[in-house]
A = this chain, B = another copy of it.
Amino acid sequence: MASRTIENYLKQLWLEQQDTRGKYVPMGKLAALVGVTAGTATTMVKAIADSGLAKYAPRAGVRLTRAGEQLALHVLRRHRLLELFLVEILGIDWSDAHAEAEELEHVISETVLARIDLLLGHPSVDPHGDPIPSSAGKLEAPKLCSLAELHTGNTTIIARIVDQSSEFLRFAQSSGLVPKAQVVIEHTNPQAGAISARPDGKEPVMLSMVAAAKFLVRPCAATRGKRRNK
């Protein structure tokens, strides 16, 4: 069994290397994600590599093996199911759920996890819209585009928010920019690098392109449709 420290390294590594094909995660980056010094990360990664969960290339970086990815996905499953459980069943604040789950994910048993999964009705996404890996370690990740890619007049539905910080989540919640919310793009201003989005039944919200890119939406088709009309 992997220690909770190693589980954390694997999880961060997975999140960082996902969507990159064969690219190595640099040590400094991993160290920052885990919250340790670079020296500590180097030592730890060498141990992880020795146990076959990652490949380590000195001065280049580290990348999970298939076995490492599988283990990481099991941690991620625990994390995301717990987040949903904390929000849905216990009524914990959306913005706090992440930090709470961070602790619990390492001690919850398979039995308890199975009951939580059952109680939630085998959900496919967590409160942020992040997909929950199956118990077999499979992840269904539909391709989504972001608010930043849409055009004036487009209407869409928020599917996922890719920032776990409680400050950002509190802002998103108070603006009405939450998963499943319908949103209309009121203005886009590429020069200023900002857009204005109006959630259904709420006030319009100004978003920088960086912020807008954190909201993934569905359907994407609206973008293409709009472009054709131009």
Contact = CB atoms under 8 A, between A and B. Distances in A.
A111 interface: yes
A117 to B, nearest CB: 11
A112 B108 CA distance: 15
A170 interface: no
Nearest to A115: B90
A103 B100 CA distance: 15
Interface residues of A, number: 18
A116 interface: yes
Interface in A82-108: 86, 89-92, 96, 100, 103-104, 106-108
A202 to B, nearest CB: 28
A115 B91 contact: yes
Nearest to A118: B91
Interface string A8-29: 0000000000000000000000
Interface in A48-95: 86, 89-92
A217 to B, nearest CB: 31
Query: Could you say which of A104, A107, A119 has the most chain B C-beta atoms within 10 Å of its C-beta?
Result: A107
Interface of A: 86, 89-92, 96, 100, 103-104, 106-109, 111-112, 115-116, 119
Nearest to A104: B107
A119 B100 contact: no
Given A103-B107, A107-B104, A107-B107, A112 B89 contact: no
Contacts of A115: 90-92
A111 B100 CA distance: 9
22 contacts: A86-B112, A89-B89, A89-B119, A90-B112, A90-B115, A90-B116, A90-B119, A91-B115, A92-B111, A92-B112, A92-B115, A96-B111, A100-B109, A100-B111, A100-B112, A103-B107, A103-B109, A104-B104, A104-B107, A104-B108, A106-B107, A107-B107
A100 B96 CA distance: 23
Contacts of A112: 86, 90, 92, 100
Query: Considering the complex of A and B, which 7 residue pairs feature the smallest CB-CB distances, nearest first?
Result: A90-B115, A103-B107, A107-B107, A91-B115, A100-B112, A100-B109, A104-B107
